[in-house]
Structure 1
Amino acid sequence: MASSSSDPDSLVTLRFHDFRVERMRHWWTLLGEDDHADIVGIFGKFPPFMRLQVDRGLLEALASFWDPTHCCFSIGEVDLIPTMEEYAKLLQLDSPFSETPVIPIQGPRSNRCLEKYLGLTTAVLRPEIARPEATWRKANISLDLLTKYFSRSAFPAARLARDFIAGKKEWKKFRINAFKIAFAGIFLFPTSAGRIDLGVIPIVFSEGRSIIPAILCETVRSLSFCRRQGEGVPMFCTQLLQLWFCSHLQHFYRLQTPYHFERHTVSQTVQIALPFTGDSRAWALYLLDLPLSGWAWKVTWGPASWMPWTHCALFDGVPLPGVWGCTGHYPSLALRQFSGVQYPPRLGDLDAVTFDYIPWPTVRPGAPYSLISRSLRVSASTGQPERVTALERELEEAQTELLSLRLARASEREASAARVESLRSTLHHNSVAVANIRRDLVAQRGNVSTLRTMNEFIREQLEISEDAKEQLEENLAEAREQLETEQAERTRVQDELDSLRSYTQALVDPATGRPQDIVALRRALDASEEALTSARTSMGVMRVQISVLQGDNGVLQSELDLSSCRLGGA
């Protein structure tokens, strides 16, 4: 834990320069959609960050809470670490581990380098570059030069056109290159007002390499420097750090201002509504009094499942190559930010991966005479007696030995103090981790009670399911008996159908294909018709005979009547 994590009196003072943000916004509006796509492919979706107003009091409070030993923010019982995964999601870039990080190497002279990327002549560039004889790692250039030639919608007039090596040819490509250099030097890696360090050139023009490690590296290096010195200029992207930190406060999720967070999307309003407006002391007191429920460990705009990179094979942390140097940090301190169970991590020494690309000179200007090696001094003992020379030699050797002993003791004291401070910080982090583990155990005990209740409920449901199972088995037995009965009935009906089919087949006459009973009936019907016809004929004959008999009977009656008459007359 940093010594100021609970003491708001030892606050860091930051000196903020005017980095000409408005000019960069106007320049962005002059570029086309294809230019925007090319630039966003390198830096991510950064345009909203150019509208974000930085709260200086908040950043000074954060710098005061920075722990340079473990490279994290220690605010009371809360430890937060900006990680490469979170920075990549904020800028909506690919995973920083899917690409090779940018590792700056010795480059050509700065004017030659700018001729290649800007197309301007040496006569124009050389007077504008500070330290033109140096490489890109020491030189810087003015933003005014870039905006003069490239912050415009069309090729400049004839007065400026002659300053280009190839004239109007490829001017649009040079305009994109100029904006990339200016954006990296103004927003991502600012150094001084209106000046752009040419060390950003390898970051901008290293295709297929991730810029996230460099952004995070310079953030860590600058915060550590300002924290140790008690003051300094923030030489990192302050907008990105403020947005990252605010995303870990519950305040912004409840009010949805000034940022509206969605998964894989971060959009912020122009009017910022922080919890309050105050200086660094007010912010420090506010953050120290903030309860644990006011912090958001996991951000909402991250993926459902994080896959953090916590350490390397031969190093307990992760090295970060930057623009002006290299450093390291411990992502294993941020497991709770990735929805993991926080445990006391193994912390090593960051000195092995902490160094500047440009080392200090062996003898610095203004160094005391006694610190300069004898080989660098000019002896003034020429002509002195031999005894005086020997005494002076012995005196110098004694002074050198005494100085070496003093330096050794001072180094031992510094190493002991650093070791004690490291042990104190490690002990604090371990205590915080143990408290977090205890808190997680309490939560897990509550989960065990809930699981027991759920187990009893499941057991009751199983008993109900057993009763239902028995009822289903009874219903199944009844259904099986009914099915067997139906099967027997179906068999009986099938047998009757087979018998009827056999009987029907026996009744069919093979000659006519008709049933034999019908043939017999037809024959009997024909015989009956013939008999009826014969009967009708016989009846006709009988009618004739009856008619004849009736005629004869009439004759006989007439004769009888005549005979009667005769008898009566006689």
Structure 2
Amino acid sequence: MRFSSPYSRREMYSPESNSVRFLDRVEDNAAVRVWSEKTQQEKGDSLAEGYESELWDFTRISVTQNDLRELREIWSSWNDETKQLFYCNYGDLPYLLGIKVDKYLFRALAQFWNPAYSCFTFGGIDLVPTVEEYMALLNCPSIQADRAYSRPVNVPPFVKKLIRITGMSEQWVAARIKQKGDSKCIPWGNLRDLILAHPDLKKRVDVFALSIYGLVVFPKALGYVDEAVSDLFDRLDKGTTPVPAILAETFRSLNACRRAGEGRFIGCAQLLLAWFHSHFWKAEKVSYRVFSRDYSPLRELVATSRRDDVSEEKWIAIL
């Protein structure tokens, strides 16, 4: 097996409240590396003896994204009360709208993805996103880490799920469902109009969140929200965490592209890049950060200016 560092939970003293709080901390890289190497020596390698990689030398991966300008405009037009309602129910998802996907960095990262271990390998260092890290990035108080999503045996029809999410009539929903390949979808344009005109504030927030999940987190069909997204979204109000499903789609898409030598990444590129940058942040030359409960990693990432003129070749050399 190969290992990387998750965010750990530590009990730390908080002078502001004169009490003990649980704060998130990213472990020091050197300590984690020692732990990782020691564990791998004890546990051994998960690959069969004689295994030979059949990966392509270079993967031509596409990270074509949906146009998110209308989503950003809608979010900007909302008042603080509406935004707070969204944060309480869905966490820091809106910050994903402000993360620019650096296609050169992403393509470079893909070259270091190892499907045999399902991790990134940078020289002698293995890194992989964990549930704890993505939970910290999404920063959603309503989801529970131990309630992972699993597709039920008897899934309600797409129409029924959209009726429940949108509050619209069966006739309205059925008239707007489209077939895209082997999946049923609903166009973003229909959801946009609903967000702008729905009389129920909570429904506007719900449909906006569904749109982010369909256009940013699981962007399978450009310009559409896939039926599979509604399956997961329909369970969020029960405290179900979407993180394992997000990671599974990330790993599946990276594996498929690497093995084929090409393809379009259909996981959440914004979250993966946010995770990558979080491992290279430094505060006063210290290779870890201590987070309070009010700290938002995605908010800081969006506020941090980064160069976007670094070539793919340069990124590969750096990594």
Q: TM-score, normalised by structure 2?
A: 0.71
Taking structure 1 as reference, are residues 217 and 278 closer, same or farther at Cα in structure 2, changes over 3 Å only?
A: same
Taking structure 1 as reference, are residues 101 and 37 closer, same or farther at Cα in structure 2, changes over 3 Å only?
A: farther
Taking structure 1 as reference, are residues 141 and 73 closer, same or farther at Cα in structure 2, changes over 3 Å only?
A: same
CA distance in 2, matches of 1:108, 1:123: 17
Structure 2: which amino acid aligns with 1:19? N
1:103 corresponds to: 150
The offset of 1:61, in angstroms, is: 1.4
**Pairing partner for 2:215 from 181, 186, 197:** 186
The offset of 1:42, in angstroms, is: 4.4
Taking structure 1 as reference, are residues 94 and 83 closer, same or farther at Cα in structure 2, changes over 3 Å only?
A: farther
**Contact between 2:88 and 2:142, CA under 8 Å: does it hold in 1?**
no
The offset of 1:80, in angstroms, is: 0.7
1:229 corresponds to: 260
Equivalent residue runs for 1:531-550 within 5 Å: none
Identity of aligned residues (%): 27
Structure holding more helix per residue: 1
Gaps of 5+ in 2: 3-51
Taking structure 1 as reference, are residues 199 and 31 closer, same or farther at Cα in structure 2, changes over 3 Å only?
A: farther
2:108 corresponds to: 61
1:52 to 2:99 alignment: yes
The offset of 1:124, in angstroms, is: 3.3
1:246 to 2:246 alignment: no
Taking structure 1 as reference, are residues 29 and 4 closer, same or farther at Cα in structure 2, changes over 3 Å only?
A: farther
1:145 corresponds to: 190
Taking structure 1 as reference, are residues 112 and 46 closer, same or farther at Cα in structure 2, changes over 3 Å only?
A: closer
Taking structure 1 as reference, are residues 186 and 262 closer, same or farther at Cα in structure 2, changes over 3 Å only?
A: farther
**Pairing partner for 1:272 from 294, 305, 312:** 305
**Contact between 1:63 and 1:223, CA under 8 Å: does it hold in 2?**
yes
Q: For residue 268 of structure 1, give the secondary structure of its aligned residue in structure 2.
A: helix
The offset of 1:254, in angstroms, is: 6.4
**Contact between 1:189 and 1:235, CA under 8 Å: does it hold in 2?**
yes
**Pairing partner for 1:263 from 252, 268, 291:** 291
1:532 corresponds to: none
Taking structure 1 as reference, are residues 48 and 4 closer, same or farther at Cα in structure 2, changes over 3 Å only?
A: farther
Taking structure 1 as reference, are residues 4 and 75 closer, same or farther at Cα in structure 2, changes over 3 Å only?
A: farther
**Pairing partner for 1:117 from 165, 174, 185:** 165
2:205 corresponds to: 176
CA distance in 2, matches of 1:253, 1:19: 33
The offset of 1:4, in angstroms, is: 9.5
| CA deviations over 1:71-97 (Å, ceiling 9, x no partner) | 100122111111111111222246987
Structure 2: which amino acid aligns with 1:64? Q
Structure holding more strand per residue: 2
**Pairing partner for 1:211 from 235, 238, 242:** 242
**Contact between 2:161 and 2:231, CA under 8 Å: does it hold in 1?**
no
The offset of 1:270, in angstroms, is: 4.7
Q: For residue 121 of structure 2, give the secondary structure of its aligned residue in structure 1.
A: strand
**Contact between 2:131 and 2:247, CA under 8 Å: does it hold in 1?**
yes
Gaps of 5+ in 1: 156-167, 288-570
1:300 corresponds to: none
Specify which structure has the bigger relative contact order, considering alpha-carbon pairs within 8 angstroms and separated by 6 or more residues.
2
The offset of 1:67, in angstroms, is: 0.9
1:377 corresponds to: none
CA distance in 2, matches of 1:95, 1:281: 41
**Contact between 2:210 and 2:230, CA under 8 Å: does it hold in 1?**
yes
**Pairing partner for 2:230 from 198, 201, 226:** 201
**Contact between 2:63 and 2:265, CA under 8 Å: does it hold in 1?**
yes
The offset of 1:229, in angstroms, is: 1.3
CA distance in 2, matches of 1:270, 1:124: 40
Quote the RMSD (CA, aligned, Å): 3.2
The offset of 1:181, in angstroms, is: 1.1
Matched residue count: 260
1:72 to 2:119 alignment: yes
Q: TM-score, normalised by structure 1?
A: 0.41
CA distance in 1, matches of 2:89, 2:105: 29
Structure 2: which amino acid aligns with 1:195? Y
Structure 1: which amino acid aligns with 2:305? I
Q: For residue 117 of structure 2, give the secondary structure of its aligned residue in structure 1.
A: coil
CA distance in 2, matches of 1:255, 1:195: 44
**Contact between 2:187 and 2:225, CA under 8 Å: does it hold in 1?**
yes
Structure 2: which amino acid aligns with 1:126? A
The offset of 1:185, in angstroms, is: 0.6
Taking structure 1 as reference, are residues 262 and 113 closer, same or farther at Cα in structure 2, changes over 3 Å only?
A: same
CA distance in 1, matches of 2:311, 2:257: 17
Taking structure 1 as reference, are residues 216 and 114 closer, same or farther at Cα in structure 2, changes over 3 Å only?
A: same
**Contact between 1:185 and 1:200, CA under 8 Å: does it hold in 2?**
yes
